Chains A and B, each alone.
Chain A
C-alpha cells in the first residue's frame, strides 16, 4: 500500500508541558513524526504549548504554533492553516484527548480534516472502559473482574460483590491520576469520589486487585493492511500494583518460558487486530506467577512512554513507523533504518538486557509520600543496556544521579534486621536497596518473595550483586586478582565502588585493571542480534574482549547529555544538547552523544554520529573518551549532570570546549565569586558561608531576617528556603544536614525585589544578549517556578543599560565562551546579582524561539573558534521583539501527596508553557490557560488567607475580584479588614475554630480559587499546608503569591472582554 496522496498538509498535536506521566517521550515521538512526514514531502503544522521542546523548532515543522492545547485554539489554527489531516496519536494523552474532542464535535469533518492512523471508533474502543471490556470479551481475551461506574454508590456495591481490595482506575486520565487501591469501604469512598471527579467523562473502573501477579507489556505495531508485529516485550520487576511508569522494568522479559511469551504475544496481536489499530499500541498484561492464567490490564492505542522505552531498548523507531503507517504505508514497505536493508515488518531481537528505573522527585520533596501505587509519581526515567542483568541494573542505578553507585546503602546499616524485614513491606522507591540489605542480613529469597512478590529470579540476581560486594570487602588493592576484578567489572561494578571496598581510590583501581587489560568494550544495538550487518552507531559498554566501535579519524566532539528528567532539569537541556550536535555537524565535526534518558531526541541513534547509551559518571565518560579519542568534550548543555563533570574531566586532561573548569568553579565558589563581583563592582545581597547551626543563626541575625538558606552546588534551588526566624533556620539546617554537605551552606539576605534574568552568549570578547526577562513574581520564588516575561517591559533604560554592562563584565570576568545565565534582583532601584550559571539554562529554548536567535548553535560555534561578529545578530542587547512571550510554570502536585504547593526558592514545577501575543495581557492569558489553570467562573467563591504582611496589598486584589462578580471568603482577621474597607467578605472558621471550617468550605465545591500566601516553614500540620493540599485534591487553582493573583485577575478581565485571540506562528520571529 503506497502512501496516501490525499495527505499533503498535516497538523501534529504535541503533549504540552512536562508533567508527571507525560515527559520528554512525546517530544521524541512528535519530533520523529514531523521528520517522518517531511521526509515524504508532507507539510507539517505543529501545535504545542511547551517551548522547551525540539518539536517546536522551526526546522522540525513548517509551521510552529506555541499555543494553548485546547479546542478553541486548535480550531483557530485549523481554520488558518487548513491542514487536510490531523495526526492524533503521537502527542500523548493530551494530544489524543484534544484530537478526540475536535473529532467528536464534528469540527474536523466540517473542515474536511481527516484523522490519520487509528480510527476514532478504535480509540474509543480502547479508551472507554466498558467498550474495551466488551471488545475483549468478544475475542475471548480475559480481563480482570471489573465494572465501570459513574457513582460512588455503584463502586461500593460492586466492591462488596467481588471483595476488597479493589483498584480504582478513572477513565481518560493520565498516568493513573486519581486512581488507587482501596482495601476497605472507607478508602474506596475517598478514592472513588476523587477519581470520578478527575475523569473527563466522570467514569471509573472498579477492578479486582490482582496485586502480586507478574506485569508484562508488549509494544505492538499494526498497519492498515493488517500486518502485525511486536516490537518488544517488557517485564516489570515490581509486580502488578505499582504503576508501570513507577516500576523497574526489564526488557525483554526474563522469567517467561517461550510458551508464556508466545501466549501473551499472540494475545497482543489478537487485541491490536480486533481494535483495528493503525500505528503503535501498548498492551499490558497481568500473568499469574504459577499458572497460565492471565488478564489484559490496559491498552494504550497510541505511542506511549513505554513505546519510547521500547524504541530505545530495541533500536526500532516506533513513532516514525507509526507515522508512516498513518499516511498509508504498510510495515512491509518501510525500511528498517538500523540495518538499512531489511523492513519494518520484523521483530527486533535483543542480545543484551535493558533495565529502566524511574527517576522520582523524592530527593527533592523530602516530605512527599514515597509509597508507589497505581498513580505514577516519577518525573523521568533512566535506561541502561548491558549483557547481564546485574551490570544493567548497576548502570541504571548510577544513571539516576543520586550519588549511589551500588546497592549497599549506609542509611540501613544502623537498622536491626527486624526493622529491615518490616521495611520490605513498604512499596516505595527504596525497596530495591532494602531488598539488597535484607539479603545481606541473611533474609531468604523465599521470604522476600513472600513479602514483595518479586520473582525469585530477580532476587537471586540482586543476591549475586550483594555477594560480590561482600567478596570485594575481603580484598585490598594488592590482593585483588585479575579474575575477581574482571568478574566484578563484568557484573557492572564501577571502579569507585571496588575502590571503596578495597580501601583504595578510583584512579588506582582503574590503573590496576588497565594493567590487566580489563577495559570497557562497546557493543552495538542493532535490532537483530548481529544476524545482519547494521549501520546504526548505537553503543553500550560491556567488559568483553571484543569491541565493535570502528575507529574514525575525523575530528570528533563528545557532548554530554542531561540524564533523566527531574524537577529543575527538564527537557530544555535535551533541546540544547541536540542543537549543539547539529551545530557541530555543520562545522564538520563527527559528533558523539552520551546520555541515558530513553525519552529523548538526543538518544535517537540518528541524532548524533555516534550514540553511547551510558551512565554519566566520570568513569563511564572516561571510558568513552578512551575509545573514541575525541578532540574535546562539551559540558555546557547537559544541565547540572554535565557541568558537574567539568572538574574531573579537566583533571583527566581532556579539552573542555567553551568555558573552562576553573571559571565554572569561580561562579559556584562563594569566595571566588565575591572577589569577582568586587572586581567588577556589582553588588550582591549580603551573605555568609556557614558550616554549623550556630554560625547560621548568628549570620541570620546579623543580616536581619528574612534570609535565604541553601546548600552550595545544587540544582533547581534544592534545599533552598526563606527563613523568617531562628526556628526556620534551625529546621532548614536540620533538613540540609541530613545529607552530608561537602560544601559550605550559604545564608544570604533576602531582598524582596523584582527578579530579572538574562541568558547571554559570549565569545570571550563580546557578548550578545538575545533578550531580558523579568519575573512576574517578586524575588523569592525560584526562577523556574515564576511567570517570566520577555521582553522585560517595566525596566527603566538606565536599569537595562546597567544589566547589559553587568552581564558583559561578568561574562568577561568568568572568561565565558558559550552561554551564561545571570539572575538579578532589582531592589530599591539598585541592581544586585543573585546567581550566575556559566552554562545553558532552562530559558534558552524559550528565548531562542522568541528572539529568533539560535543560541545553542551560536554558542557551540563560538566554542569551536568562531566569533560573535561572524553572525548576523550583532553584540550587546538584541532588539526587542514586538511580541510578548510569557512563560508560565506547570506543576504536578496532584500526583505527589504531602508536597507543599506553596512557591518558594526551591523549584517545584515539572514543566512550562508559553503564551505569545503582541499584547502583554493576551500573552499572559494564553500562558495561564495553557498551563491548565481553570479560571474561576463568575459568581464563584474565592478564598483568601494571607500572611499579615500581605494584608494591605490584598485589598486592591480583593476589590478587583469583587468588581468582577465573585463571592469572597476569608478567615477572621482578613475578613474583618476587607469588610472594614467596604469589600463584602464572608468570614470562614479556621481549622481550630470548629466546623464548618475552611476545609469543609473548600470541599463543598463552592470555592473556585484559593489565594494563600504561606507563613513559614513547611510543616504539614499547619493550616496553610492543609488548605493548599485540599485545593490540589479538589483541582482548584491555588495561588501562593499575590503577584500571581494579580496576573490571574488580569486574565479574567481579559477573558471577559476578549472576543477571540489570534494564534501566532513562530515564523514571525524569523
Chain B
C-alpha cells in the first residue's frame, strides 16, 4: 500500500498505524459485519425492524426541520380531539400532541441509547471480571448481581428518584437506568467467558506463554463482543421502557418532554375518564412500535446467528 508523500503522515502511520496482520483481521471483521448486516436487512422480520428503527431515528433527528407547531407553546384550545389541524389532538395546555410526540422521541430514544451504552459497558466489565477471574471476585459480583436482579427495578428506580429530589434531570435518569440495567448483560457475558475459557485454544495460548491480558484481548474479547452487541439491542429497548415508566410516574424533571411524560400528563388530566383516546394511544403506540423494531431486529439476529432456528 502506497503511503501519501507527506513525511509527517508517513511517520505517524509507521508509528501508530495498523500492522498488516491487524489490518487483515479488521477487514475480516468488517466483512463479517457486513455479511450479517445484509442478512439481517434481507430477513423479512429483520428488514421490517430496521425500517422501523430507521424511521424513528430519522424522525427524531430531523424534527427541527419538520413543519410542526411549537411543542411547548399553548397556542390552541385544550382537549381537542384529533382533526386535520391536529392529527393527535391537543393536550390540557392546548399544545399540539403530534408535535409533542415527534419532539418527545428525541429524548426517549437518546436516553435509551445512552443508558444502554452505560449498562452495556458496565455489564461487560463485570461479566468479564466475574468470568475470567473466578473465585471470590466472581462470587461477590454474582451475589450483587442476584440482589439487583431480584429487586423490583421499578421500586428501586423510584426510590433513587426520590432520593435525588423527586424530579430527575435527564443525565441523572440516564445514569440511574444505566446503573440498574447491567445485570442481564453481565450474566450473559460471564457465561460466554466461562465457555470460551473451556475451549482448548485458550489453554494452548497459556501454554505458549501468553499473558492473561493477551488472552483476554485476543481470544475472549472477539468472542464476547458480538454477543454483547446482540444483547445491547435488548438493553436499549429495556432502557427506553424504563425511562418511559419513570416519566409516567412523574419522576422526570418538569419541562422535559418524552413519551412517558406525555402519558403522565394524559393520566393526570383524567384523559381516560374523558375518553381522549388519541392522547393515550399515540405516544404509547410510538413506544410500542420502536420496541417492536428492536424485537424484530433481535429476532432476526437470533435466527441468523443460531443455525438451529433456521429452516432445517
Do the two shown chains form a genuine complex with each other?
no
